[in-house]
Homo-oligomer: A and B are copies of this chain.
Amino acid sequence: MNLLDTARVYTGQTKILVAVDCIVFGFDGQQLKLLLFKRKVEPLKGQWSLIGAFIKEDMSLDDSAKQILLESTGLSNVFLEELKTYGAVERDPGERVISIAYYSLTRLNELDLDSVEEYDAHWFGLDEIPELILDHGEMVQLAIKRLREKVRRQPIGFNLLGERFTLPQMQILYESILQKELDPRNFRKKMLSFDILTKTREKDKSASKKGAFYYVFNKEKFDEFVANGYNFEI
């Protein structure tokens, strides 16, 4: 009997544990960071891990991911996207688990610190990520790669910044994601050319005496931009 002979016959099929794991990125103004958790249960208790949970009978994958994020960080309405599904037979030593990895971009300063502490979490710079359980390290590396690709095509950087931000802040963010220095003149020119930022009259003076003007993301213009089939290369 081969695979297809039994296709779509529901009874007698193997059911499997399914989990969602979240790769949570945040930006602290200097560098891109990753939120990791100390695993609380056996096996592998005490080791660093992504946050995740099993899928419940009555919840979709996307909703599960959203809820995990809400419970662990207090954040909702964040950028959250499926990364890849991991389904090697022996990937979890406890029992077979298929895991759908999601990655999210969060505003680090809006985080609910109580939630985070409750779960024994810690932010790590990308160059100081500890060894992770199972295939979580692989998930993280793929997420970083995907983020680098995506940030060049879509303006997802806003998800990592606060409501308002300065162009120098934004440049630092892009530099920390792409891991390379960008020319400030070219960066500003390009970023402003999309015409999706609105300059405010206030300045952020925390980083310099002169101060840098705050900008806000202009959703209406962005929606037009998307409708016209955007191209957002940095």
Contacts and interface: CB of A to CB of B under 8 A. Distances in A.
A187 interface: no
Number of copies: 2
A215 B94 CA distance: 51
Contacts of A201: none
A227 interface: no
Contacts of A8: 39-41, 52-54, 94
Nearest to A96: B57
Interface in A53-91: 53-62, 64, 67-68, 71-72, 82, 84-85, 87-89
B17 A17 contact: no
Contacts of A57: 14, 16, 89, 96
A41 B7 contact: yes
B61 A14 contact: no
A205 B141 CA distance: 48
Given A64-B3, A67-B3, A68-B3, A89 B58 contact: yes
Given A3-B64, A17-B13, A85 B85 contact: yes
Contacts of A98: 18, 55, 61, 98
Given A17-B10, A55-B16, A60 B89 contact: yes
A207 interface: no
Contacts of A4: 51, 53, 68, 71-72, 119
Given A4-B119, A6-B53, A72-B4, A85 B59 contact: no
